[in-house]
Each structure stands twice: as structure tokens, then as C-alpha cells.
Amino acid sequence: MGKKSDIELIVGGLRKDKRLPEQTREIKMKVGNIVSANGSAEVSFGNTIALSSVHGPRELFPRHLQESQTGILRVRYNMAPFSVDDRKSPGPDRRSVEISKVIRLALEPAIFLDDYPKVTVDGFVEVIQADGSTRVTGINALSLALASAGIPMKDLVTACSVGKINGTLIVDLNGEEDNNSESDVAVAIMPTSNLVTLLQMDGVLTKEELMHLLDLAKKTCKDIHEMQRNVLLEKYKGEE
């Protein structure tokens, strides 16, 4: 916290990794990388890599968790011990419990869970390398995994991070920027219906800055959505 202002993250209009403020890192997407799952995807934003898979719809045990009128979505977000500089002790911690919940809530509005009474759709996000913006990378991957699993959806879900460093509003924070940011905001939207399904912010911002960042997030998500579409279409087009 105290260090935030000391570190120069933007020099001559460029970020340390040579990006413009409103530029994302290189984004890569793959679908169908885990055959044992009903659907799967891998998404990377620069050095942040998230794997995702979907199992189900499948029977839900113990039975008292079942909802007779609707299916449920369960999400587990986890970071691999080797994904960060200092080994992360394995298993869920407070951070991952919260992130699992907000990822679930980011995806739930997009899924027709009523089509599957009593059963569960289980979504897994494993961050195998973390360099900032892991939850939004995970949401993009899980959305692809759900679509490829043939889960009925209203829309895809697309996510990105935006924030403020050295007084400048930026898109797609990497780990160093995240650690030293004045503010960071995680946003997920349903691009066709234009609904915000994830919004988390910390740091300090004026209302005007927030509104500007939301605009940036909307624009960036449009581009990411296009990539999600292409990777899904490409996968199912087969060899030409």
C-alpha cells in the first residue's frame, strides 16, 4: 500500500510491458482441451493461464442439496501451488472461496438452470499460472467450457479487469500493476444482453473515473467476446 506511489508503472505513455493504457495483453483461447470433461477451455491473458472444465449436468449428492424445480451451478476456483512466486499452500483459502462465489454469480444469470431440475452443473477453474486478472481469465474460460459442454445459455459471459495506475486508467492489469494499483475493478458482462454480472472494485476512485472504466471494460469485453465466438466456431467447423 505504502509503496504504491513509489513505483513507476507508466513511462512515456507506455506500461512496463510496452502496452498502451487501454491495451490488453496477448489473449489466447482453446476449447476442448480436456477430453474427460463434458466441456473445457484454456484461456490466457499474457502470463495468466486458466484452465476450465465442466462436468455435468450430473446427479447431485447428497440428495438434500437437490432443488426439485431447478438445477444448480457449483463453481470451484483454485490456484495451483506453483502458479505464483512463493508457493501457495494447496486447497481453498478465504480468497478462493470468495472468488468461487463471485464467478458462480457471474455465470449463473447466463444459464438456463431450470432445464435441469434436481441436478448439478459443476464448473472448475484452475489457475496454473497467475500474473494478475486471474478471476476474469477464469470466467472467460468457464464460459467457453459451458458453451462447449452444451449447457443451455442465454449468452456467453465475457470478463476483463480495468483499473488505475500512476493516475492513468488502464485495461487488463498484470500482477505487478495489480499489486501496485490505485484501484482495480473486475467486470463480467453478458455481451448480447448488455448486463453486468460481476462487478468488484477496490482502491480509490471518483465516480467519473469509475464510469469511464466501466466504458473501457464494455469495449474490451466486446473484443474478447469476438475471440470467444471465433474459438468456438473454429472448433466446431472441423478441418476445412
Partner 1 sequence: MENFALELIQNGKRIDKRDFMQFRNIEIKENVIGKAEGSAYVKLGNTQVIAGIKMGVGTPFPDTPNQGILSVNSEFTPLASAEFESGPPGENAIELSRVVDRGIRESKTIEMEKLVITAGEKVYSVFIDIYILDNQGNLLDAAALAALVALLNTRVPKLDADGNIVRGEYERKLPVVHKPITVSVCKIGDKLFVDPLLEEEAVIDAKLSIAFREDDKICAMQKQGIKGIEFDALEKMVDVALEKSKELRKLAK
Partner 2 sequence: MSSREIVLPGDMLGPREGKKLGSGVYEENEKVYSKFLGMPRINENEISVVPLSGTYLPRFGDRVIGVIEAVEVSGWFVSINCPYSAFLPLSEAVDEFVDLQRTELTRYFDIGDIVFCRLSKVTKNKLVQASMRDFESRKLRNGVLVKVTPTKIPRIIGKEGSMIMLIKNRTKCEIVTGQNGWVWIRGDNKDKAIEAILTIERESHLAGLTEKIEKMLGE
Applying CB under 8 A, the residues found at the interface with partner 2 are: 38-39, 56-59, 68-69, 110, 112, 115-119, 147-156, 190-193, 229, 232-233, 236-240
Copy the grid coordinates of residue 151.
449447457
Partner that binds at residue 129, options partner 1, partner 2, none, CB closer than 5 to 8 Å by kind: none
Distance CA 67, CA 63 (A): 9
Q: Which amino acid is at 99?
A: I
CB 67 within 8 A of CB 117: yes
Distance CA 191, CA 60 (A): 31
Q: Residue 185 Cβ, how far from partner 1 at the closest point, in Å? A: 8
Q: How many Å separate Cα 38 from the centre of its chain?
A: 20
Partner that binds at residue 210, options partner 1, partner 2, none, CB closer than 5 to 8 Å by kind: partner 1
Q: How many CA atoms lie within 13 A of 195 on its CB side?
A: 13
Q: Closer to partner 1 by CB, 80 or 210: give it.
A: 210
Q: Residue 25 Cβ, how far from partner 2 at the closest point, in Å? A: 24
- Which residue carries 490466457 as its cell? 44
Binding region for partner 1 (CB under 8 A): 1-3, 94-95, 97-98, 100-102, 105, 108-109, 183, 185, 189-190, 193-207, 210-211, 214, 218
